[in-house]
Structure 1
C-alpha cells in the first residue's frame, strides 16, 4: 500500500471577516486503512526504526531546535504507514509516548480503527456541514448561539464547527488547566484531538498561548519519550540525550556531563542501578557515622540519647541523671563499686554485648576501606578531567606559535588521557560494587561462603592489576605534560611508546574485569537479574 499524503494549508484566523479564512483539512487522499493492509514487514520496520544505528550503544545529543525535526521525522514514518495526515500521525505517536514500538504492538493486537479511536484521532476527517456555503454566509455557532460568517469558523477532523472566538476561549481554558498536550474538541462527548496546524492557526492572535502550546508540544517528546532523557547538568545545559539502541548506556553530553541513561544518576558501571542506589543512600545519609555511633556509644534507657564511655567502670550516668550498666544497657541504681553495681548482675550478657561492639567496629572499618578508595578515584577523575581541559588550552596556545607542535603530533597523548579517564570511571564504582556484592545480604543466598571468598579474591586480583596500571599511566601522563612546554617537534619516542603500551594494557585489563563481573559474578545469579552498561573498547589507542 502506498498512501498518498495531501499538503494542507491552514490560513490565519482573524476576527476580521476579510482576513479570516476557514480552517479545514482536505481529505486524506487515501482509501480506508485496515489491519490487513499493514504487513508484517511494515510493523517490523516501524518497531525497528528507533534502532537503526550501528552497534548496541549509540545515542545522539539533541537540543530544543532539534525536537521539532525529530517529531516530524517520526510522524512522517507513521504517516506513510497508516495513510493519515502528519498532524494525526503525531497525535497517535504522542498518545503512545512517542514510542513506535508500542504503536507497532498496538497495531498487532487491534485494528487500525480501534487504535485511532483510542488515540482520539479520526481516520478520515468528516465533511464540514457548512462546507458548500459561500465565505460570507452567516452561520450560527452552537456554543455561543451567535451568528458568524462562515469563514470566521473552524472545523476539526470530527466535523464539529464553531466560531473562532469560542474555539480560542476553549483552548485558553484548557491550556490554563495544564492540558496543552491534550487539546480536544469541545463538542459534548466528542473527545477528538484537535489538529496541530489548526491549533496554530487559531492561536496566532494569542501569541502568549501559542508559545505555551508549542513548548508543551515539544516538551512532550523530551519528558514522555522513554528513549529521551534530559541532561542532568546543574544548571541545565538545555540539551537531552536520545538513545538509538540499548537503554543501558552512559552517554556524555556536549556540556561534559556523563550519566547513566537508565536511572539518571552519575555513571556507575560495573554497579547495577540497584547497587548504586544502595551505595548512594548509604553515603548520602552518612550511615558510616551511625556505624561509629553503634560501635562506640550506648543509648540511655531513659532519654534514649547516645552516651559514650571514655574510661572508668561499667557504671555510666547520662546527662539526664539516669544510671545504667554499660554492658547490658539496663537502668541501675547509683550505688556501685569498681567491679559491681548494687542489685544488678549481667555477666551472661557481657559476651553478646562485646560481640555486637566488635561487629559494628568491623563493619565501620570495612565501609571506610571501600569508601576512601572510591572517593580517591572519584576525586582523581575530577582532577584529571580538569587537567585535560588545561592541556587542550595549552596545546591551542602553543599551536598559534610558528613551528610549534600540532594536535596531530600528540594525538596519542590525548587518547591516553581519555583512556585514563575511562579507567578511573571504572575503578571508582568498582569499590562500591565489591562492598555490596561481597558483603551485603543482597547476594548472600546466591553463593556459598567458599564461592564468595573465591569470587572476591578473583575480583580483587583483577581490580588491583587494573589499579596499578592506572597509577602507572597517570605518572607517565604527568611526565608528558611537564615536558609539553614545546620548543621542538621532536618527542621522546621511548616515553611515547610507554604511554601507548600502558593505554593498551589498561584496556585489556578493563575487558578482563568486565568479563569476570558479567559472566562469573552477575552471570551466576539465579534469583535475580543484573544488567550493567557494558564496556566498549576504544580503537586506535596506538595513534
Structure 2
C-alpha cells in the first residue's frame, strides 16, 4: 500500500496557523486515520476486473429475474433498455405497471399456451425464404413468430457482424421483440464458433458499455478494469491501478472544474486558441510569402519583410507609392472601424487568459515537482528513525505530503473554473456585471487563502528537518500537522463557497464533483 495513502486525523475542528503548539490531542491522529481509512475502504465504489464482469452482471440480472419471474434474456433486455439501472426498472414497474415496462423495452413474456402447437412433422412455409420445411426445423420466439432455423441463423450472423448483437429483434415485419439469446447462441455456435464467442463478449461488455454507473478506467496502457459507482454519477474515483479520473466524463480528475469547463479549457490550452485569435485579429497574411504581418504604424500601406507592399485594409498587393487618400495600383474603399474594436477585445482576452493559464500551469508544475518529493521524504524519515528520537511515528510527514498533493491539485483546477465562471460570456444571460463581480471577489478571497497555506505547507515539507535538533523536529511536526489541518478546512471552504455562493440560484445546472477530504473515492475489488 502507498505509504502516502493515509491521512491525519480529522475531528472537524478548524485550526489557526498560529496554534502550532495546541496539538497535543493529535498524538493519536495516526490511529484514528487508520480507522478513517478502513471506513473509506467500505465505499460502494467497486473495481470490476475482466474476471468478475460476469459476476457483476449476474447480480443485477438475478435481482430482476427474481422480482419479475423472467428468463435471463428477458431480464437482460430490460436492463440494457434502462442502461443496467436496476432501480430504474423497479421505478418504471411501480409507476407504469408491468405491461408498459415490457412494451417499452420490447420484451414479450410468452405463455406456453399461446405458442403454436403444430405437429412437429407437419410441413410449414417459412415466410422469409418461402421454403416449405417440417415444423421441427422452425424456431418460435417469445412473440410467437416462427421461421426456419436457416433463416434465423443467417439473421443472427448478419446482426452480430453489424454490431447489433445486444438487441437482436425478431425478423417479422414491424415486430421489435428481442430474440432469445440462448437460441441465438445455439444456432450461431453451430455455424461459426468464433462469431458465437464474439456474441458472448458483446453481451458481457454491454454491462460496461451500456451502464451509466460503470465506466472503463481511462488508464494508458489500459489496465483492463472498470469502475462501478452506486450513487453519484458526478464524482471522482481512483482505480486499483492508481489512476484518478472524473466518473462523469472519464477525463483526469478536475474538480472544482465542471466537465464542460474542463473540456473547454483543455481544448483552449491544446489549440492555443487565444494566441491564434491574437494573430488573426492583429496580423494580415502577406499576399506574396504568406507570413503574418503586424502593422506598427498608422499608415494602411504596409510592407512585409520579403519586400511586398500590400493594403492593411483588405490584404491586397499594391504598389509602393501612395498619397493621403490613395495607394498606387489599388483601391478598396473606406477603413473598417470594427477592426479597432476587435483588436481591443483580443488584447483584453489574451491578457485575461494569460493570467489564469500562468497560475494554472505554475500550480500543476509545482504538483509534479512535489510528487517527486515522496522518495526524498521517505529518506528523511529513515534518517530520523536512525537518530532514535523520542518521536517514534513519522506518518505526519506522509500525511502532510498527501494533503499538499490534494490541495495543490484543487488549487490548480480552481483557475480554469474561475476563468469561465467569471467571464463575460459564460452564463452572461444569468448574471449581471455586479453579481459576477461580487461572486468573483468571494471566490478569490477563498482561493487566495488556500494558495497562501498551500505554499506554507510546501515550504515546511521541503525543509531539511531531518537534520534539525529534536526540539526543532517537534516544532516542524506541529507546524505541518497544523497547516495540513488548516489547508483541509480551506479546501472545504472553497467548495462551500462554490456551492452556496457562486452557483446558488443559477438556472443553469453546473455539476461539480464534491470535495472529499480523503481524496478521490478508492474503488475496492468486487468479490468474484
What TM-score, normalized by structure 2, do the two folds share? Answer: 0.73
Residue 99 of structure 1 aligns with which residue? 85
Residue 242 of structure 1 aligns with which residue? 228
CA RMSD of aligned residues (A): 4.5
Alignment of 1:51-450 (within 5 A): 59-108=45-94, 110-126=96-112, 143=126, 145-146=132-133, 156-158=141-143, 167-186=152-171, 191-205=176-190, 206-294=192-280, 296-298=282-284, 306-309=292-295, 315-318=301-304, 321-324=308-311, 334-336=320-322, 357-388=343-374, 390=375, 409-450=393-434
1:281-306 per-position Cα deviation (integer Å, ceiling 9, x unaligned): 32222112124425652456999963
Q: Structure 1 CA distance, aligned partners of 2:331 and 2:123? A: 97
Tell me if the contact between 2:286 and 2:308 (Cα under 8 Å) persists in the aligned partners. no
**Aligned in 2, Cα 1:145/1:504: closer, same or farther, shift over 3 Å?**
same
Secondary structure of 1:259's counterpart equals strand
**Aligned in 2, Cα 1:394/1:113: closer, same or farther, shift over 3 Å?**
farther
Secondary structure of 2:367's counterpart equals helix
Tell me if the contact between 1:315 and 1:341 (Cα under 8 Å) persists in the aligned partners. no
Alignment of 1:520-531 (within 5 A): 520-525=501-506, 527-531=507-511
Structure with larger RCO (C-alpha < 8 A, sep 6+): 2
Q: Structure 1 CA distance, aligned partners of 2:71 and 2:501? A: 53
**Aligned in 2, Cα 1:509/1:157: closer, same or farther, shift over 3 Å?**
same
User: Which of residues 495, 506, 513 is equivalent to 2:476?
Assistant: 495
Q: Structure 2 CA distance, aligned partners of 1:158 and 1:248? A: 40
**Aligned in 2, Cα 1:170/1:359: closer, same or farther, shift over 3 Å?**
closer
Tell me if the contact between 1:316 and 1:324 (Cα under 8 Å) persists in the aligned partners. yes
Residue 451 of structure 2 aligns with which residue? 467
**Aligned in 2, Cα 1:500/1:146: closer, same or farther, shift over 3 Å?**
same
Paired residues, number: 467
What TM-score, normalized by structure 1, do the two folds share? Answer: 0.71
Residue 518 of structure 2 corresponds to residue 532 of structure 1: no
Residue 497 of structure 2 aligns with which residue? 516
Q: Structure 2 CA distance, aligned partners of 1:311 and 1:182? A: 68
Residue 488 of structure 2 aligns with which residue? 507
Q: Structure 2 CA distance, aligned partners of 1:62 and 1:127? A: 42
Alpha-carbon offset, residue 508 of structure 1: 0.8
Secondary structure of 1:241's counterpart equals strand
Secondary structure of 2:311's counterpart equals strand
Alpha-carbon offset, residue 124 of structure 1: 3.7
User: Which of residues 476, 482, 506 is equivalent to 2:460?
Assistant: 476
**Aligned in 2, Cα 1:87/1:412: closer, same or farther, shift over 3 Å?**
farther
Alpha-carbon offset, residue 441 of structure 1: 1.4
Alpha-carbon offset, residue 117 of structure 1: 3.8
1:498-538 per-position Cα deviation (integer Å, ceiling 9, x unaligned): 2221111111111111122222111143x423221121233
Q: Structure 2 CA distance, aligned partners of 1:350 and 1:160? A: 72
Q: Structure 1 CA distance, aligned partners of 2:471 and 2:425? A: 57
Alpha-carbon offset, residue 331 of structure 1: 8.1
Tell me if the contact between 1:473 and 1:499 (Cα under 8 Å) persists in the aligned partners. yes
Q: Structure 1 CA distance, aligned partners of 2:293 and 2:456? A: 47
Structure 1 unpaired stretches of 5+: 1-52
**Aligned in 2, Cα 1:112/1:324: closer, same or farther, shift over 3 Å?**
same
Tell me if the contact between 1:294 and 1:360 (Cα under 8 Å) persists in the aligned partners. no
Structure 2 unpaired stretches of 5+: 1-38, 520-528
Tell me if the contact between 1:248 and 1:532 (Cα under 8 Å) persists in the aligned partners. yes
